[in-house]
Homo-oligomer: A and B are copies of this chain.
């Protein structure tokens, strides 16, 4: 990188002090509108820019925010995170802050690096998506060092500064719907561990839950197709399925339609998360909407309040709803 002009050079060039230049850009301290404009204009002309690292060091505060999320193995794109990220990113931009995304792979080397950054003062605050031991550790790190943080999802002990969604109730809606529409033999295809969904589903199914079949061993499209094959083989009577996520539901639907099953007459399927693709799929996938974009948005807003020193007394609950489409 070409060595750039510093505040000192620039101030000399203008014949003012560095303090004045600083005021012109920081928006802090008193400065006459006229000199400010002169300075800004001249900066534009000669190409002076404030050095971010020096500014952060001098001011003692950063304006970057990081998003940490658990990444699973495999090359399947993470649609869930992708849509949350969109909400986070757009909201942050609106607020004039800068986002850094950190997928936290489940390797200890990665998490140490994340810690280095968090504790190294890189961020004003962090947003952590719950779901792994690593997420939990990151939050613990933030908390014990009094770094503002927001949790997305459920994490034990994090009841306040969190953006949550009621998975359990969402799944319950699915159960109730299956029961109300006269289904008799329900199944649940789990993704990665999440007891809440299963519990809610059982609650909604009421007495039907006695016959609930539980299967599943992963969260991908392929796992969905496998689940269909297994159900067909071992429990052909199953007539309705709740899947732990939408991609899983698509995989299952795909296998079922290939098998000439009538959807939803013979088999009703509901997914989870309501990613955008759920509405595009063929058949379109009924789903429990988590309003992922809104979750991202809310987490940034919550963090902003924290950053401004506000006390937050209760979590932000995003409402779950059952969106009915062709698959059920």
Contact = CB atoms under 8 A, between A and B. Distances in A.
Contacts of A250: 280
A69 B51 CA distance: 23
Interface residues of A, number: 65
Interface in A87-137: 89-90, 93, 96, 98-105, 109-110, 113, 115-117, 119-122
Given A2-B146, A145-B4, A105 B120 contact: no
Given A62-B53, A257-B282, A105 B90 contact: yes
Interface string A28-70: 0000000000000000000101111111110000101000000
A53 B293 CA distance: 31
A139 to B, nearest CB: 15
A253 interface: yes
Contacts of A253: 282
Contact of A276 (B50, B76, B117): B76
Interface stretch (A8-16, A78-86, A153-161, A184-192): A78-86
Contacts of A282: 253-254, 257, 281-283
A27 interface: no
Contacts of A83: 77
Given A93-B110, A103-B93, A119-B4, A57 B53 contact: yes
Contact of A105 (B56, B76, B93): B93
Given A49-B119, A85-B103, A250-B280, 16 more contacts: A1-B147, A49-B120, A51-B120, A52-B53, A77-B82, A85-B101, A90-B105, A93-B103, A93-B104, A98-B113, A99-B102, A99-B104, A100-B102, A247-B280, A282-B282, A282-B283
7 contacts: A1-B147, A52-B116, A53-B54, A75-B86, A89-B103, A96-B109, A98-B102
Interface of A: 1-2, 4, 47, 49-57, 62, 64, 75-79, 82-83, 85-86, 89-90, 93, 96, 98-105, 109-110, 113, 115-117, 119-122, 145-148, 221, 247, 250-251, 253-254, 257, 275-277, 280-283, 293
